Each structure stands twice: as structure tokens, then as C-alpha cells.
Amino acid sequence: MKILSVEPLAIPEVLVVRFGRFSDERGYFSEPWRAADFDGASGLEALKGVRFVQANESFSKKGVVRGLHFQWDPPQGKLVRVLRGRMIDLAVDIRKGSPTLGKVVGWDMARRDGDAEGEWIWLPPGFAHGFASLEDTTIEYFCTASWNPGGEGGITPLSDGLDWSLCAPSVAGTVRRALAGKPILSEKDRRAATLSSWLADARSDRFRWEAH
């Protein structure tokens, strides 16, 4: 695997990992993920020894907003990439005691056949995840824990308590316009907890920030 760069976002635990593709007149070949390279790459020390136990694929039509989802039992981290299309990927810090608690970071992710590189975004446990699909979009994500329907939670992306100040204005503006229009949003996500109601729930104590 050819890792080109590792870029922390405004909440530095959330990482964008770029990897290379080997292209010629026939097409391209890539190794999107290889454990040994992730374990040894500079900037990915937080992922050393992380074990992925489940891989998921999801398709969303243009205008769909999904999230903001998380799993608290067992805590689940996600490594996400776009296979085709374009989306704004979103992460919300839900770790109690964190200096960025309630803040949102976002990343504009797209995939085209001619791209010379690909991208992953890493969201460790303690972050709620969602995205706004700007085109018909297919994503793949690896998970550090198997899905447990009795241990999952959600915060509605319509929650007034979310703090968008760390997002690039263009990213935040794109998502806000999508939410202000007529987003295709599941009833479950629309009726999910607000940030404040989740933080008042005893289960939210599963996610605590620790200074390093």
C-alpha cells in the first residue's frame, strides 16, 4: 500500500489518509488497506494494532443525509472511503470532557475513475458519524467492532446543539443548505436524540476524553 499523506482535521483524532493508485493505459491497481502499512505509517500511531472485524458497503441517492450514528457497546471506530460519487463526511465529538465536545468536522470526499489517489477518513470511538450525499454515492467502511443493535445510538443532524465552528465554511455551508432544504432523511435519524439529550443519558458516560 502506498500511503501518500496523513492529515488530521481540526479535531486531530479524525484523520484523512491518502493512498496512491498505480495507473496505466489499461486502468489502475491499488491496495486501499494493508495492516502492516497502517501499523507503520507516520501519523497513524493511533491505529497501530487496531483490528477491523466488519466491512460494510452503503449506497445513498443524491440528497440523502445519514447519521449521526455511533455504537457505544462495544465502542466502534470506522475507516470510511467513497467507492463512487461524492459526499460530505461528518464527525461529531461526543466524548465527555473533551475540549471539542459537540463540535463537528467535515470532509468533502469524492471518487472518480481517473483519480491518481484515494482517501480514507478515520473516526475513532467517541465520534458520531454521518454524511450528506451530494451525488449518488457508494461508500465502504471498516469497523473495529461488530454491529450490536442493542448498543447503537444516534444524534439527529437537525440538532440545534451541534457546533459547526471547526468546519470549513464551504463544507458547513453545503451541509446546512442540504439540511435546510428537503433532505432525504430516515424517520429514525430525524427523530434521534439531540446532542444535549444524549449527553444527559447515562450511557453517554461510555465515551470519555483522556488527555495525552
Burial of 212 (0-12, 13-18, 19+ CB in 10 A): exposed
Half-sphere exposure of 103 (CA within 13 A, CB side): 16
Query: Which superfamily does CATH assign the domain made up of 3-206 to?
Result: Jelly Rolls (2.60.120.10)
Q: Which of 28, 129, 141, 212 is catalytic?
A: 141
Tally Cβ neighbours within 10 Å of residue 121. 25
Whether 212 shows a pLDDT value over 80: the answer reads no
141 noted as active-site residue:
yes
DSSP 163: B
> Considering only CA atoms, which of 129, 135, 186, 174 is closest in space to residue 153?
129
Break the chain into its structural domains and give their ranges. Answer: 3-206
* Average pLDDT over all residues of the chain: 94
CA separation for the pair 110, 83 (Å, rounded): 8
- Compute the average pLDDT of residues 105-129: 93
Q: Name the catalytic one among 28, 69, 129, 212.
A: 69
40 has pLDDT over 80: no
- For 61, counting Cβ atoms within 10 Å of its Cβ (0-12 exposed, 13-18 middle, 19+ buried), the class is exposed
Query: Backbone phi, then psi, for 52, in 5-degree steps?
Result: -95, 130
Better-scored residue on pLDDT, 28 or 205: 205
**pLDDT-derived band at 79, boundaries 50, 70, 90:** very high
Q: What is the pLDDT at residue 115?
A: 83
Question: Cα 1–12–69 angle (5° rounding)?
Answer: 85
**Is a pLDDT exceeding 90 seen at residue 158?**
yes
In this predicted structure, what is the pLDDT of residue 21? 85
Residue 129 annotated among the catalytic residues of the structure: no
